[in-house]
Amino acid sequence: MFLDAISQNFASVKKRKRQEENGTYEKYQQEQKRRQRIKRKHERRLKVATEEEKKEPVYEALHINLVSSDESDAEEDALKTRPLTWRTEEVTDFFKRLDERWKASLSSQQKRQCVNRRLGLPSERTTHGVPQHLVWAVRAV
């Protein structure tokens, strides 16, 4: 186990050095931040969903591929939310309800520490990653 950890560390250092040499490390870091923001948003929504909501069909739409992305805004101290235009209104409204419930559950100190979000340009992500059983959550174009 100890040797595996050392091996993994050397592989990570080697990968990082190669990315820095290629000039792709910064882009990789930005993509990782984006993925982590999506993951945190998804986990928050799962936590605040009520037992009644968990029984509703729209609860299935709480899938990581249906969560909209956020990106840093260089001009302001805020995140721009990039909405998924292909997601149905029903799913979008459900997500908004969960987000509002999560925000209402925060203490005043936690609210002050939250990064502001504002609506940005629509996301360029496609429906490619949406599982087949969630096709109903995709708006017909």
**SS3 letters across the chain:** CHHHHHHHHHHHHHHHHHHHHHCCHHHHHHHHHHHHHHHHHHHHHHHHCCHHHHHCHHHHHCCHHHCCEEEECCCCCEEEEECCCCECHHHHHHHHHHHHHHHHCCCHHHHHHCCEEEECCCCCCCHHHCCHHHHHHECCC
Confidence of residue 58 (pLDDT cuts 50, 70, 90): very high
Average pLDDT of the residues of the chain = 90
**Distance in angstroms (rounded) separating the CA atoms of residues 102 and 53:** 14
**Distance in angstroms (rounded) separating the CA atoms of residues 9 and 101:** 40
| Higher pLDDT, residue 41 or 1 | 41
The contacts of residue 91 (CB under 8 Å, 6+ apart) are 58, 61, 66, 137
Least confident of 20-24, 44-48, 61-65, 131-135: 20-24
**Distance in angstroms (rounded) separating the CA atoms of residues 103 and 16:** 36
- Please determine, for residue 77, whether its predicted confidence score (pLDDT) is greater than 80: no
State the average pLDDT over residues 128-135: 92
- Please determine, for residue 75, whether its predicted confidence score (pLDDT) is greater than 70: no
Give residue 37's domain range: 2-137
- Please determine, for residue 51, whether its predicted confidence score (pLDDT) is greater than 80: yes
- Please determine, for residue 44, whether its predicted confidence score (pLDDT) is greater than 70: yes
Among candidate residues 81, 79, 109, 77, the one with its CA nearest the CA of residue 96: 81
Least confident of 23-32, 51-60, 95-104: 23-32
Confidence of residue 116 (pLDDT cuts 50, 70, 90): confident
Question: What is the total count of domains within the chain?
Answer: 1
